[in-house]
Amino acid sequence: MKKKLSLLFFIILKFIIQYFAIHPVYELHRDEFLHLDQGLHLDWGYLSLPPVTSWISAIIFLLGNGEFWVKFFPALFGALTLYVTWKIIESLGGNLFACVLGALAIIFSVFARINTLFQPNSLDFLLWTTSYYFIIKYILSKENKWLYFLALSLGFGFLNKYNIVFLLLGLIPAFIITPQRKIFTNKHLYFAITLALLIISPNLIWQYTHSFPVLYHLDQLSRIQLVNVSTGDFIMTQFLFFFSALFIIIAGLTALIIFPLFSKLRVILWSFIFTMGLFIFFNAKSYYSIGLYPVLIAVGSVYLEKITLTKWKFYLRPAMVIVVVVLALPVLNYALPIYSPEAIIKNSEKYKELGLLRWEDGENHHIPQDFADMLGWKEMANKTQVAYNEINDPEHTLILCDNYGQAGAINYYAKDTRSQAVTFHADYVYWFPLENEIRHVILVKTEGDEDPERKREREFFDEVYLSGELKNEMAREYETKIWVLKNASVDVNEILKEEIKEEIDERKQ
C-alpha cells in the first residue's frame, strides 16, 4: 500500500512540476507549432518525423487545441517514464527506498525540461525505457510474450522518432556477446520482428513513395547543426542531464559488472556502451542519449538499496535522497525557463558557464536557444492578423513565411486567418492552399532578408507596403517584417507551383 501511494504521489508531483516549470512570459516553442500543424495534415510520414506526433496533435485539436493540452501529453509521457522506471525497480526486487530514489532521480533531472515541450522526445524516451523493461522481463522470466511487447514498443517507437534505431543497433551486438545470445534461437523472436516490421511498414512505404525525405533531413541536420557538435561537448553534457543522480547511474553500471544478482542483465551494460559509441561516432545531439539512463537509474537504485541493508549503511539512505534533490535544484534553476529573459541576462555568466547560451550555430547568445524559441510569436501573429484584415479578401490571400516557426505560430495564434500560413520550409511545402486564385500575399520575412525593399515583388503586384515590424532581441526571430502584396498582375499560383516543384525536386537529389 505504501508503494502505491508513494507512486501516486510522485506521479502527481511530476505533473505539477511540468505545469509550473515555465515563466508566463514564454509562449509555445517553434517546434510545437510545426507538430500541431502536422495534426491537420495526417499522413504516414513527414520530412523530419514519422507520424505518431501528428496523431497526438489531432487528439489535441479534438480537445480544443488549448495550451493546457499541448503541455499535457509531454507531462503524461514523463509521468509514464517515471512509472515504467518504478516497475523496472520492482522487477529487479527493489523495495520502497529503491523506488523512491529512482523516482526522485527521474523527476529532478533533464526530464523536468523535456517534459514541458510537445515534441517527440518525451514519448521517445518513454519507449526506450519501456523497451528495456520488456527486455528485463524476458531475460528474467523467459516468457515469450515480452518479446512481442518489445516489438510493439520498438515498432511504435520507430513511428514516433527514428532515433530508436540506435537502441536497436546497440542491442544486437550486446545480445551477441553475452550469454543472452540464445535469444536468436527462439522462433518467437522472429515472429516478434515480423510484427515490428508490419507496424513500421506504412511509414517505410511512405518514405519510399516520397523518395526518402528523411535522408534529405539528415543531410540538412548534419550540415547545419551537427557540424557544430563536438565529442567533448557531447560527453560533458551527459553529466548535466542527471547531475544529481550520477552516483546512481555509476552504481547501476557497477552493479551490471560486479553484482551477481544482475549478471544476467549485462546485455544492458553492453547496449549502453554500443549505443553511446554510435552516438559519439555520428556526432549526434547530446540529448539523443537520454533514453539510455532511466534503466541504469533503476538498476543503480536497487543496487544501492541492496548494499545499504546493514545498520550503519542504512543511514546513508536519507543522505542519498537529499543529494538527489538538493544537487539538482541549482542546475534545474538555470535549465528550466522559470526566469524572464531580463533576469537571465542579469545572471548570464552562470548560464554561459553551464553552456546554456550556446546555440546550434556554435555561438553564445543572450538567452538559451530553447527559451528564445518561445518568444515573440503572439506579437508576430497579431501583426500578421492586422495585415490580413487590411486586405480583407480571405479567399484569395496567402500568408507566406520564411520558416515553419512563423507559419505554425500564425496558424495557432492568429485564429481569424482563414488562409493557412505556409512556407517552403519543412513539411509546409506540401500544404500550400492553391485551390483558389492567389491575388494577394502577406510576406513574413526575417533579419538578413536579401531584398529589404521588395523590388522583385513590386514588379508583380499593384501595391506593396510594410504593414508591421517586430524587433525583439530576445526572440529567435530577432527582426521580422510583415509585407502586404496586393492585386497580383501575374499568375501567382503558377509561380508557386514551380517553386514548390523545385523545392521538392531538390529534396529528392
DSSP string, 490-509: S-HHHHHHHHHHHHHHHHH-
Q: What is the reported pLDDT for 218?
A: 73
* DSSP summary character for residue 364: B
Q: Is the per-residue pLDDT at 478 higher than 80? A: no
Confidence of residue 472 (pLDDT cuts 50, 70, 90): confident
Of the chain, the end-to-end C-alpha distance in Å amounts to 60
User: Residue range 21-46: average pLDDT?
Assistant: 94
Q: Which three cell numbers stand for residue 341?
A: 529573459
Between these two residues, 48 and 28, which has the higher pLDDT value? Answer: 28
Our CA angle for 181, 183, 189, nearest 5°, is 140
User: Residue range 250-254: average pLDDT?
Assistant: 97
Handedness of CA 252, 254, 256, 261 (dihedral sign): negative
% of the chain surpassing 70 pLDDT: 97
pTM, full prediction: 0.93
Q: What is the reported pLDDT for 229?
A: 65
Q: What is the reported pLDDT for 82?
A: 98
Q: What is the reported pLDDT for 184?
A: 96
Q: In what order do the strands lie in the sheet with 461-471?
A: 421-423, 397-401, 440-446, 479-488, 461-471
Q: Rounded to 5 degrees, what are φ and ψ at 187?
A: -60, -25
Q: What is the reported pLDDT for 2?
A: 83
User: Residue range 113-126: average pLDDT?
Assistant: 96
Rounded to whole angstroms, the Cα distance separating 456 from 441 reads: 13
User: Residue range 81-92: average pLDDT?
Assistant: 98
Our CA angle for 376, 380, 386, nearest 5°, is 150
Rounded to whole angstroms, the Cα distance separating 161 from 49 reads: 6
Q: Is the per-residue pLDDT at 180 higher than 70? A: yes
User: Which residue blocks in 94-182 are alpha helix, DSSP H?
Assistant: 96-107, 111-114, 120-141, 145-160, 165-176
Q: Are 356 and 335 in contact (CB under 8 A)?
A: yes
Q: Which three cell numbers stand for residue 466?
A: 510594410
User: Residue range 87-100: average pLDDT?
Assistant: 97
Residue 401 pairs with which residues in a beta bridge? 423, 444
Confidence of residue 228 (pLDDT cuts 50, 70, 90): low
The whole-chain average pLDDT of the chain stands at 92
pLDDT digits (tens, 9 = 90+) for 402-433: 999 999 999 999 877 766 899 998 899 999 99
Q: What is the reported pLDDT for 364?
A: 84
Q: Are 402 and 409 in contact (CB under 8 A)?
A: no
Residue that the C-alpha cell 532515433 belongs to = 163
Q: What is the reported pLDDT for 168?
A: 97
Q: Are 475 and 399 in contact (CB under 8 A)?
A: no
Q: Are 150 and 140 in contact (CB under 8 A)?
A: no
Confidence of residue 250 (pLDDT cuts 50, 70, 90): very high
